[in-house]
Amino acid sequence: MPHDPSPGTAAAALPPETVENMRALNRIVTRASGVLRRTASDGDMSLTEMRILHELGLATWTARQLARHLALDEGHVSRVLKRFAAQGWLRRTASPDDGRVALLELTETGAARRAAHEEVARRQVRDSLAGLSDAERPALDRAIARVRTALGDPGLAASAITIRDMAPGNLGWLIQRHAELYRIEAGFDASFERLVAEVLVEYLKTRDPARERAFIPVRDGLPLGSVFCVQGPAPNMAQLRLFWLEPSLRGTGLGRRMLADWLGFARAVGYRRAALWTHESHAAAGRLYAAAGFEITGTKPTRNFGRDVVEQHWEMTL
């Protein structure tokens, strides 16, 4: 994950503006979600208690697991759970794997209390966001999804990732995100952004829909990467272009899935060979290419995008 809650050098190195932006976001979300108003209406419950009640309805926990998940003191969580049990909201059952371990489960009364709280929360959020226009709402959804992805929200695991073709608005986003990541991860200069823009504009201008397409993974409206299948330098040769994935999703199998979809499409529309161009420093992508059947056909030390790099050319028979 890109986010490590433990203190240390990485945390100390965070730019002050990142810290202040996060604090501002907390304040904005608190206001927009109506948390403070909800606390007033639920005068007998603190914010922490409401969060614990919410989490108890999402999964089966032990007290220790719940405390660690919420990064709370185990003693404090234990006291809250005792209060919930005394009010008839919570029951404990022995774990089938270890009878010494108690599993936490909401009773019907507890589930009803949680449902009432959730409905109040949803209504207050709807009221807070009612003034957003039809254009602003999708933009907000994408921004929230990006924050959740960057911070490693475990709740995203329940959201399906679909892979689709390009959609309106993707062009600018693909250029920007490509340039951002390759500047940070590879030190590439502005000439790389220009190349990405040229490739994408040419794709949109000359694309043959029967034999060329994009594969864009999307979750909760937020694009998470890309790979393109275009006509290659020779007849019946597909070229793989602009393959990348958000850092937080690398190593999850999504890259392999995207590459498998790319190969399936290339074969289905009649290509006989496939080619790609990359750099030696992109080792993780290289392992994916090799596993899929690509082989290196040539390398060349050169200078590209303000860096000394080793170009690689890969090909495979489809």
The separation between the first and the last C-alpha atoms of the chain, rounded to the nearest angstrom, is 35
The Cβ of residue 11 has, within 10 Å, a number of other Cβ atoms equal to: 12
User: What structural domains does the chain harbor?
Assistant: 9-131 (1.10.10.10), 163-317 (3.40.630.30)
| Residue 12: pLDDT band with limits 50, 70, 90 | low
- Measured CA to CA, the distance from residue 47 to residue 54 in angstroms comes to 11
Produce one character per residue of 38-67: b if its CB has 16 or more CB atoms within 10 Å, e if not.
beeebeebeeebbebbebbeeeebebebbb
Phi, psi angle pair for 219, to nearest 5°: -140, 130
Q: Is the pLDDT of residue 4 over 70?
A: no
CB atoms within 10 A of CB 87: 13
The answer to whether residues 292 and 263 touch, using CB atoms and an 8 Å cutoff, is yes
User: pTM for the complete prediction?
Assistant: 0.65
Q: What is the mean predicted confidence (pLDDT) over 186-212?
A: 94
List, for residues 86-125, the tens digit of each pLDDT value.
Answer: 999 999 998 888 888 889 999 999 999 999 988 988 888 8
What is the number of alpha carbons within 13 Å of residue 159 lying toward its C-beta? Answer: 13
Q: What is the pLDDT of residue 96?
A: 85
Beta strands, E only, 248-291: 273-279
Closest CA relative to residue 48, chosen from 96, 83, 21, 98: 83
- pLDDT of residue 142 exceeding 90, the answer is no
DSSP state of 279: E
What residues contact 47, with CB distance under 8 A and at least 6 apart? 35, 39
Q: What is the pLDDT of residues 207-238, one digit of tens each?
A: 999 999 999 999 877 889 999 999 998 999 99
> ∠32-34-36 over CA atoms, to 5°?
120
Largest separation between any pair of C-alpha atoms in the chain: 74
Encoded tokens for 230? 């275009």
What CA–CA distance (Å, rounded) separates 213 from 227? 9
Query: 7 pLDDT exceeds 70?
Result: no
Q: What is the mean pLDDT of residues 72-76?
A: 92
- Cβ atoms of 109 and 90 closer than 8 Å: no
Mean pLDDT, rounded, of the chain: 87
What's the number of CA atoms in the CB half-sphere (13 Å) around residue 161? Answer: 21
- For residue 134, the model assigns a pLDDT of 84
Contact 262, 163 (CB under 8 A): no
Local confidence band at 282 (pLDDT 50, 70, 90 cut-offs): confident
**Residue 84 neighbours by CB under 8 Å, 6+ apart:** 52, 53, 56, 90, 110
Q: Contact, 247 vs 285, CB < 8 A?
A: no
Query: How many other CB atoms are found less than 10 A from the CB of residue 70?
Result: 15
